[in-house]
Structure 1
């Protein structure tokens, strides 16, 4: 069996920046075991798989995302990469792409300047004392953390961008939390806010650019800064830029995408 595969750098206009994602369009679903094995073989933070739905369905495609270790309920950069493939490689001529996912309906549209806009859910955060394991993993962690029930992430708000860039957490300690990961964020110097994301629970020490965490970051910073339109930078080594807007119970997350390669996978 031969399956097409694409690789796209998401949330960047420059090759070798942003977050690389593998994208595999399918005629029908492979087994979960096979998709997880493919994600592990690809060895990227996420591999997206999608299947075309019937014309009378409320969505156009059913999408799923796998890290090298688990299936995740929501992924921004691999959705962005999938949309780029659908628009540019699969001949999609409609304005929007509608996805069915584990996190409900999602959609992507393309702007006149070539950016792709994700329509994602708004995730609430809950303030709570910072878990001991996070305090042990990250020297100087603030006493209060924020928990994101929808995806089990914790979020720490630091003083400034320099503090976010300097973070070097003990990944082994973070993995012991038993959740998905840890977001660290702060006001930006040349943008509204910055972030980094560590996800050892998903088999990823640090994710280069993570669209899904902005479902929680955007409503948090929109309230703090008193504005609904925000520019965000994820300040990992590869880095990426996101244009975001809070829209009630939804969040728009926009980014660029850069094509890297295409090929085929030969399965037994």
Structure 2
């Protein structure tokens, strides 16, 4: 049977068992969608990224255990780590194409990797009753982006104390729910819940920061920001608003390499 190399990388951290784990598979050609979905379900991580090389660039797709998603930051960071460290990518810039999110890039500066992603466009919204009830706290403001809700709260303590009703949260029509507040030691903090797509709480969510960075940049009147995601594993990010795109920077570390049979 053919074997596929599998890498598991902890993203947005420099220590194993922290940040957000992602699986990465670099393929010669695309597998059937069902097979990639089955691999992601078997991995049972928030995301599995699949890549196929096209000349000097790569195409990329991301799967949760349940569905393919439009964009994933931590699995893109993990993919870049794999290509730079295990596939000897020739330059310090990596170009990636997603058929759902367009052109993306990752730049390597020492151990730091910087994602360049398009911003999410958000609009003020009314929080669904089930959403507020599931979170057990009323936000000071609610926004809706392309796939996620953003709920803003007054303090970091509000975010830390949140214990959502995940079954009720799963009834809300959205990929996921971002909750955020000003940080005590960083510019802003967040958590991300996505039981709708099979991820109860994502440890560190790069794609959520395409929503968070424009919001907090406008609120705090600054282009460069520091952020922390307050999951149990925690994750640290450096953020920058660049017009209609954002830079999201962090580190990554390898947890395992192996092979899978398909």
Q: What TM-score results when the alignment is normalised by the length of structure 1?
A: 0.95
How far apart in 1 are the matches of 2:140 and 2:17? 37
Gaps of 5+ in 1: none
How far apart in 2 are the matches of 1:49 and 1:235? 27
Matched, 1:223 2:221: no
* Count of aligned residue pairs for this structure pair: 260
What's the CA shift string for 1:53-75, capped at 9, x where partnerless?
135xxxx0000000000000000
Matched, 1:76 2:82: no
The aligned counterpart of 2:103 is 105
The aligned counterpart of 1:208 is 203
What's the CA shift string for 1:161-218, capped at 9, x where partnerless?
0110111111111111132110000000000000000011110000000000000100
The aligned counterpart of 2:37 is 36
Aligned 8 A contact 1:51 1:61 in 2? yes
The aligned counterpart of 1:47 is 48
Q: Which moved more, 1:67-76 or 1:136-145?
A: 136-145
Cα drift, residue 93 of structure 1: 1.8
Aligned 8 A contact 2:142 2:152 in 1? yes
Gaps of 5+ in 2: none
Aligned 8 A contact 2:92 2:109 in 1? no
How do 1:178-197 residues align onto structure 2 when only pairs under 5 Å count? Answer: 178-197=173-192
Alignment counterpart, residue 147 of structure 1, candidates 132, 135, 144: 144
How far apart in 1 are the matches of 2:152 and 2:259? 42
The aligned counterpart of 1:164 is 159
How far apart in 2 are the matches of 1:29 and 1:178? 30
The aligned counterpart of 1:136 is 133
Aligned 8 A contact 1:130 1:143 in 2? no
Alignment counterpart, residue 254 of structure 1, candidates 242, 245, 249: 249
How far apart in 2 are the matches of 1:265 and 1:129? 45
How far apart in 2 are the matches of 1:142 and 1:235? 17
Cα drift, residue 143 of structure 1: 6.2
Aligned 8 A contact 1:129 1:143 in 2? no
The aligned counterpart of 1:20 is 21
Q: Which moved more, 1:170-179 or 1:23-32?
A: 170-179
How far apart in 1 are the matches of 2:103 and 2:215? 22
State the secondary structure of the residue aligned to 2:125: strand
Cα drift, residue 144 of structure 1: 3.8
How far apart in 1 are the matches of 2:132 and 2:94? 42
How far apart in 1 are the matches of 2:144 and 2:44? 28
Runs of 4+ in structure 1 off by over 3 angstroms are: none
What's the CA shift string for 1:218-263, capped at 9, x where partnerless?
0100000010000000010000000010000110000100111101
Aligned 8 A contact 1:107 1:118 in 2? yes
